[in-house]
Structure 1
């Protein structure tokens, strides 16, 4: 009995080390999968001029209402549209969260932050145009503050993607989310609209992709099954947490930014 006890004590650290290596290798493989998804999204928007909506019924394809706005702003990754693997390395679906305005009826308007999800249809954009520079603005006050001449009413009809334009908000590191998403870093105690930008890893982003890690199956069943620091990533809201991997935080995230997307397509129409 004493010998067995000693062997058990000796083996415990060895088992712990092996388990640690296993989780590390899995997390590295999972990170590579997320990077591949991110690259596939870039390719998708370069080809199609828009980003796909979430998959809300688990068939691997994006879901829209009347082929226009997104059916919901969160769901599973539309892996068939993106031509990527259906699940993370742990065999669980991947969360695909998009701009919370993507399910609004004004999704085609360039001055709407969710216009990069615009898929089809005709829209008349109503802008303000500076007569001395020909530069266009979403709001009259924006034009008046930047124009030395006169701001005039300007209408531009758009019938195909991309509906995103260079003036589409949000632009820059603003605290106004405009339906966009926010990922807070490990220094943030909480994540909300007033969280200092110095503690934010990604601000005003249109897309966040989350693998719930080895506990993904139970997390998909009920967000309360996740560890407290992970629950922000599965509660259906626009705020997300990114922390160093640990015994109490197994989620891995990636995202795309609006300025990054604007470089991939012709947004100067």
Structure 2
């Protein structure tokens, strides 16, 4: 009897099941390989960032200042004179002689103190912006050589009890959100941060303009915060490849203490030896105790910024017009400045004359007398004409009183009034500066928009100051009238009052929205 063996083949279901299993295993292998590659890229980024930090500190040793961001993409820091062109941009890798791109062939992002692109604040050796000033002894007309000290010194903020303005805080890895609470911070008051945007760097940068990344809304919240830094916070979160909370940014920062350590004659007094022991090494993120700073009132009211001003003036009376014409003609023909000795009343001008000279480019105007409001229309329906500087980075210098309301659009605008302010100033977005050497009288309003603004009143304040979003600084060296008010708006704002802290209760109700308030007795309060 023969045995017939039946060889049974695989059914279609079994074959499909085997193929599915093989597919799952292959997908796992591929994902594992991708994860290993991502991990390798992350480790490589970490090493590059360490190299960049070393290059930043070597630059301080060599040049006696921190570099500015690169806004053109050529790897060279961008400055206007001694000051930064911008406070965010590409890492200036060519200036630093370090890595140009991260492990994903994309640029590194570099952010510095948010006042470093102004002209007056970085000249103040006590301000954190001075770390980025390439001027010997904070004088923009001097360049640093090997014998000169840097602009910053041991008292430069932050120091213990005196935090720095315009710096950054770094959230630690243990929190998803960060509210500047000490327990949530890995570091605070950091002048400079470098970020690698990781695997999605190309998406994050997008069509960057002037070194500012696109920061699309599709980014996870913490990654978006790292590239569009609006509140001074950077995140060092846990790495995650989940689509809902994807995060693979890497960052390093440079503290003020690390910067100071690069200058030997500063380093000698950073730490004193305890009795019977070796000198202590302070933690890099913990400011070292220093002597109390001098009263802020010792900072002088600044001179007029040098610029190529267009001098605009009217004449007064037949004799004034004739003499003014002759003197200005002599100035034009032989290059003298005799017009500066004309009586101020012969050199006043009005808003209509100014408006005829401005456009949407940058306008730089000097009025040698008062700036008054022009009027238009018949006597029974006269209309006051305000001064309009329009768009652009404008400068307006008034050598006597400002009596006309002034408006300026977006841009970094500069106002300097040598005597009294008797009218409103309204400056839209941008980093604006307003200086009044005399008094603010008759209750006008100084209002600035979003941006890091500085308002400096050397005399008394009888009016309103309203600063918008951004990190703003207000200085009042005179007294406040009963109807005066100061509102810092949103942002990390600082106020300086020329009074002892014990008198603050007399004006406290007139002041709002300031994170820090300094007094002339060397004390301060933090709100």
TM-score relative to the length of structure 2: 0.42
Q: 1:5 to 1:79 in 2, by over 3 A?
A: same
Within the candidate set 234, 243, 248, 1:240 is matched to 234
Residue pairs, 1:102-251, within 5 angstroms? 102-106=116-120, 107-120=122-135, 123=138, 160=144, 162-172=150-160, 176-192=163-179, 195-221=180-206, 222-223=214-215, 224-237=217-230, 238-247=232-241, 248-251=246-249
Q: Say yes or no: does 1:84 pair with 2:117.
A: no
How far residue 80 of structure 1 moved from its aligned partner, in angstroms, is 0.4
- In the alignment, the residues of structure 2 paired with residue 202 and residue 236 of structure 1 have an alpha-carbon distance, to the nearest angstrom, of 16
Partner of 1:96, secondary structure, is strand
SS of the aligned residue for 2:199 comes to helix
Deviation at 1:177, TM superposition (A): 4.5
Cα drift, residue 74 of structure 1: 0.5
Which segments of 5 or more consecutive residues in structure 1 lack a partner in the other structure?
125-157
What secondary structure does 1:116 align onto? helix
Alpha-carbon deviation of 1:166?
A: 0.1
The 2-side partners of 1:31 and 1:79 are apart by 16
User: Judging changes above 3 Å, is the alpha-carbon distance between structure 1 residues 75 and 81 closer, same or farther for their aligned structure 2 residues?
Assistant: same
Deviation at 1:218, TM superposition (A): 0.5
How far the C-alpha of 1:104 sits from its partner, in A, is: 1.5
Q: How does 1:17-36 map to 2 (within 5 A)?
A: 17-36=32-51
Give CA deviations for 1:14-53 in whole Å, capped at 9, x if unaligned. Answer: 1221111111111111100000000011111001100110
The aligned counterpart of 1:148 is none
The separation in 2 between residues aligned to 1:121 and 1:47, in whole angstroms, is 14
Separation (CA, whole Å) in 2 of partners of 1:215 and 1:22: 14
**Corresponding residue for 1:151?**
none
| Aligned-residue offset at 1:236 | 3.5
Equivalent residues of 1:56, 1:76 under 8 A apart: yes
Residues 71 and 90 in structure 2, CA contact (< 8 A), matched pair in contact too? yes
- Are the structure 2 counterparts of residues 201 and 178 from structure 1 closer, same or farther at C-alpha, using a change threshold of 3 Å? same
Distance in 2, Cα, partners of 1:101 & 1:250: 29
Q: Does 1:51 align with 2:66?
A: yes
For the Cα contact (< 8 Å) 2:192–2:254, is it kept in 1? yes
Are 2:84 and 1:70 aligned? yes
- State which structure, 1 or 2, has the greater radius of gyration over its C-alpha atoms: 2
**Residues 76 and 169 from structure 1, CA distance in 2 versus in 1: closer, same or farther, beyond 3 angstroms?**
same
Match of 2:352 in 1: none
Kindly indicate whether residue 252 of structure 2 is the aligned counterpart of residue 254 of structure 1.
yes
Aligned residue for 2:31, secondary structure, equals: helix
Structure with the larger RCO, 1 or 2 (CA within 8 Å, 6+ apart): 1
Report if the CA contact (8 A) 2:197-2:250 is conserved.
yes
- Aligned counterpart, 2:385: none
RMSD of aligned Cα (Å): 2.2
Give the Cα–Cα distance (whole angstroms) in 2 for the partners of residues 241 and 197 of structure 1. 14
**CA shift at 1:122, angstroms?**
6.0
Q: In proportion to residue count, which structure has more helix?
A: 1
Does the 8 Å contact 2:128/2:167 carry over to 1? yes
1:95-132 residue CA offsets vs partner (Å, 9 max, x unmatched): 000010111212122111111111026647xxxxxxxx
Rounded to whole Å, the distance in 2 between the matches of 1:95 and 1:244 is: 19
Distance verdict in 2 for CA 1:172–1:217, change over 3 Å: farther
Structure 1 ranges of 4+ moved more than 6 A? none
